[in-house]
Chains A and B, each alone.
Chain A
């Protein structure tokens, strides 16, 4: 097939747009909105990042600059970790605004991440955020519809298609040329995305992910390109094509995503955190209270320690029995809490899985999932943060309990309530508090994200192929009908 003909048709289509006020105006508005969404999201994410990193630094400094005191007090003094947005949040903030930004870490408890950016934000209805991802998901398809709905019926209405076919141009070439023209517009529309990706690259995002994301965005837009040309090839009249395309857009972009979310909520209902907390309490009841070394639950630990060190009384142990109890019960409690935390995360993931399956119904939903997974701003990323925070919590609490067990004499510990001197000796020096691990805020590796988002990309590809086939077949059938 002569490739020059489709290119010539595409070029002609672009020339037509250049003369159409409607097309130019739409391109201008859409372009402005995408750029505005990028600029505002970059600014917002950057200021969030600076704020949260600042708080993280402050939290660390205040912890490490605490005066000499009993290590168990540091366990309850606790530490704060802040969730720093991923580099690609500037394209797709994903769940960032809907998840807590800060979490209090302390002994014996797993707290929730609190103060999501949405908590104190002004409530602006269902569409409260105009991120580049949203603009590409909802706005650009609309632009492609505006540019392309009449592409083929226009020729039919003006009867210029007969001229083309008489000049030995095949319907396939016409269809290809019109698709090419629209694909060109889609590629031009990707320019702001490329700028965003470059910024994310400079913030440390991998080149592989950036290229993959670009490819995914392009594929989604191509799915719309082929949908537009398919409907355009199907309809005799431009007005019918437009009505049909707008109906498709409403169904795929406006209705299906919230329907999927609602279906997930209804099909896989989930208990809240308080229900989990209560279940943890029930399960913990037998583990014993780590504050009370005489709790019968610790009899076994006591017997074991006495035997290990060959002494008759806990006071003669070379380690502080209270510290050992604290360490042992923290480990035990954490084990139980993690089981429940994992269960809760699994049920959340199950809900999201329902949405992932329902993306078969809409490329817009598949794209939404693809985009946030690739950007590292999806639910699993938040779960990774929660797990990471839990790791930091357990680590510093156990380090403190270790100091309690190894460095702090048991006799002083027992007398600190009544004797001020003993109390003074139980205060461990401030040098001990330099122990905090960092929360690694980096998103999961490129390969993990790519493999998680690949099914969604394939769904978009499937839409591409199906709509392209429909367009191609319809185009050739039309001609047969006409002949």
Chain B
């Protein structure tokens, strides 16, 4: 069997169509991985630049602020989510789901939806990253290599001869298909391994990615076999396979997405924003107690310091910012839960579509998916809470507003390590 495979590999390599396909696969893999790596390096450089600029900006702003209220009002903080080690292979939704924010101590609901997205036209067209290559392009290449395998021998009237001279009988075509797919897999796997080593991806993760790609190739190999053994003409087989590709890569995901979105509703963005603003702004015209009473229920330890004497006091201002957040919280929770539920449901849809499944698993492994975005958002919200807990004692009085105390101003740390 192995020697047969070796012979078939040699045969396959002599075919121009195999060489061309391999060349295309190899070339675009290198292109996709290089572009992905450059993009990730770009993101890392941008984070480093923004972090440095933010620190510098904070220093300038904090210098000479008269009270903790204005110090909190004018100081911005950078929150971000660094790309994972594998992100270069699957850029995922990072072009559309924000992974960086510039936050301050005002109501977080008014800030967290701000987007810092890439060029929308490029997002529309989509990137040629490794994930696209493996999930969308690879099946087409497999089809291109295999659709004519048996039909050609039949056309040339060699089919019976080939079967008769092989120890495997008709099984020789399976060996042939395997040989061609192995060459294709190598054209993708070798550059990937090189880039993964260079990019610091763990061996386990690299092998998992390769296993996934091989699994996807294997799936299409089986589909091709199932279609081509039916004694079809090459053209018919190609068209059937192509229809299957279109069905699995486009129709199933689109129909599934439509169904999932109909089943799992999420609150409308406009609704969230308008509600949040009304709640925050209502506070200006309400008696101070309407803000402070519920606020003190959350922070009973501040009760002794919470008397509002003047028309405007910072502590009251920040208290109603947080109360605004609290009233808008159910809506944002609904949104995130909806997004999570939709993502979970798409996992089920993906069972019907191996290309979608491959893409999903790759973005999951590269942590460039919805789940990671939601974890990052929670991380940014937690940091915002830390900021509030840092300023409240100063705003309300128990802790003096001093240079020394301000030197402990919380600094954002990403919640998820690059390595994890």
Which A residues contact B (CB, under 8 angstroms)? Answer: 22, 26, 29, 33, 40, 51-52, 55, 58-59, 62, 67, 69, 73, 77-78, 80, 82, 94-95, 97-102, 104, 111-116, 118-130, 139, 142, 146, 149-150, 238-239, 242-243, 246-247, 250, 254-255, 257-266, 269-275, 277-278, 281-282, 285, 348, 351-352, 355, 365, 368, 372, 378-379, 382, 416-418, 420, 423
Contact = CB atoms under 8 A, between A and B. Distances in A.
Contacts of B152: 239
Interface stretch (B212-220, B276-284, B383-391): B276-284
A285 B338 CA distance: 41
Interface in B59-84: 60, 76, 78
A360 to B, nearest CB: 16
Contacts of B174: none
Minimum-distance CB pairs A-B, first 9 = A115-B269, A258-B128, A55-B270, A124-B257, A124-B253, A95-B120, A98-B120, A261-B125, A122-B342
Interface centre among B118, B124, B257, B272 (most CB of A within 10 A): B124
A272 B39 CA distance: 13
Interface residues of B, number: 103
Contact of A124 (B17, B269, B273, B346): B346
Interface stretch (B46-54, B194-202, B299-307, B318-326): B46-54
Given A120-B335, A258-B132, A95 B117 contact: no
A258 B238 contact: no
A277 to B, nearest CB: 6
A102 B270 contact: yes
B6 to A, nearest CB: 27
B311 A416 contact: yes
B28 interface: yes
A352 B125 CA distance: 11
A97 B246 CA distance: 22
A272 B274 contact: no
B368 to A, nearest CB: 10
Contacts of B151: 239
Contact of B144 (A40, A150, A239, A247): A247
Contacts of B310: 417-418
A51 B274 CA distance: 14
Nearest to A54: B270
A379 B46 contact: no
A111 B349 CA distance: 36
Given A99-B120, A130-B254, A258 B270 contact: no
Nearest to A420: B311
The majority secondary structure among interface residues of chain B is: helix
12 contacts: A98-B120, A102-B270, A118-B96, A122-B342, A123-B363, A124-B257, A125-B360, A250-B137, A258-B125, A266-B38, A278-B57, A365-B125
Interface string B129-169: 10010011100100010001001100100000000000000
B268 interface: yes
B394 interface: no
B120 A112 contact: no
Interface of B: 17, 28, 31-32, 35, 38-39, 42, 46, 49-50, 53-54, 57, 60, 76, 78, 93, 96-97, 100-102, 110, 113-129, 132, 135-137, 140, 144, 148, 151-152, 155, 233-236, 238-239, 242-243, 246, 249-251, 253-254, 256-258, 260-261, 264, 266, 268-274, 277-278, 281, 284-285, 310-312, 335, 338-339, 342-343, 345-346, 349, 353, 355-356, 359-360, 363, 369-370
B175 to A, nearest CB: 22
A239 B236 contact: no
Nearest to B53: A278
Contact of B132 (A114, A126, A139, A278): A126
Nearest to B363: A123
A142 B270 contact: no
Among B54, B127, B151, find the residue whose CB has the most chain A CB atoms closer than 10 A. B127
Given A122-B345, A261-B128, A278-B57, A112 B114 contact: yes
A245 B127 CA distance: 24
B268 A51 contact: yes
Contact of B273 (A104, A121, A125, A263): A104
A278 B54 contact: yes
A95 B125 CA distance: 9
A275 B54 CA distance: 10
A351 B285 contact: no
A53 B266 CA distance: 19
A269 B49 CA distance: 15
B357 to A, nearest CB: 9
B114 A261 contact: no
A420 to B, nearest CB: 7
A78 B100 CA distance: 24
A149 B235 contact: yes
Nearest to B128: A258
Taking each of A69, A94, A114, which has the highest tally of chain B beta carbons within 10 Å of its own beta carbon? A114
Contacts of A262: 31-32, 35, 127-129
A122 B42 contact: no
Given A120-B342, A262-B31, 8 more contacts: A40-B258, A55-B271, A98-B124, A101-B269, A126-B249, A262-B35, A264-B122, A278-B57
A150 B110 CA distance: 60
Contacts of B253: 124-125, 127-128
B284 A355 contact: no
A130 B132 contact: no
The A contact surface, by secondary structure, is helix
A99 B128 CA distance: 20
Nearest to B92: A123
A418 B312 CA distance: 9
A261 B127 contact: yes
A113 B115 contact: yes
A272 B96 CA distance: 12
A78 to B, nearest CB: 7
Contacts of B114: 111-112, 114, 273
B359 A125 contact: yes
Contacts of B122: 261, 264-265, 351-352, 355
A58 B49 contact: no
Given A55-B270, A98-B124, A352 B119 contact: yes
A40 B345 CA distance: 21
A257 B152 CA distance: 32
Contacts of A146: 239
Contacts of B96: 98, 116, 118-119
Nearest to A52: B270
A159 B346 CA distance: 52
B242 A246 contact: yes
A387 to B, nearest CB: 15
Given A77-B277, A265-B35, A423 B311 contact: yes
Contacts of B249: 125-127
A378 B93 CA distance: 20
Contact of A272 (B38, B46, B256, B264): B46
Interface hub of A126, A129, A271, A282 (most chain B Cβ within 10 A) = A126
A146 B35 CA distance: 34
A101 B135 CA distance: 30
Contact of B356 (A62, A101, A124): A124
B126 A261 contact: yes
Given A112-B114, A246-B144, A418 B311 contact: yes
Given A98-B124, A118-B96, A258-B126, A270 B119 contact: yes
B116 A102 contact: no
A78 B155 CA distance: 73
Q: Which of A146, A239, A418 has the most CB of B within 10 A?
A: A239
A115 B270 CA distance: 8
Nearest to A78: B277
A77 B342 CA distance: 33
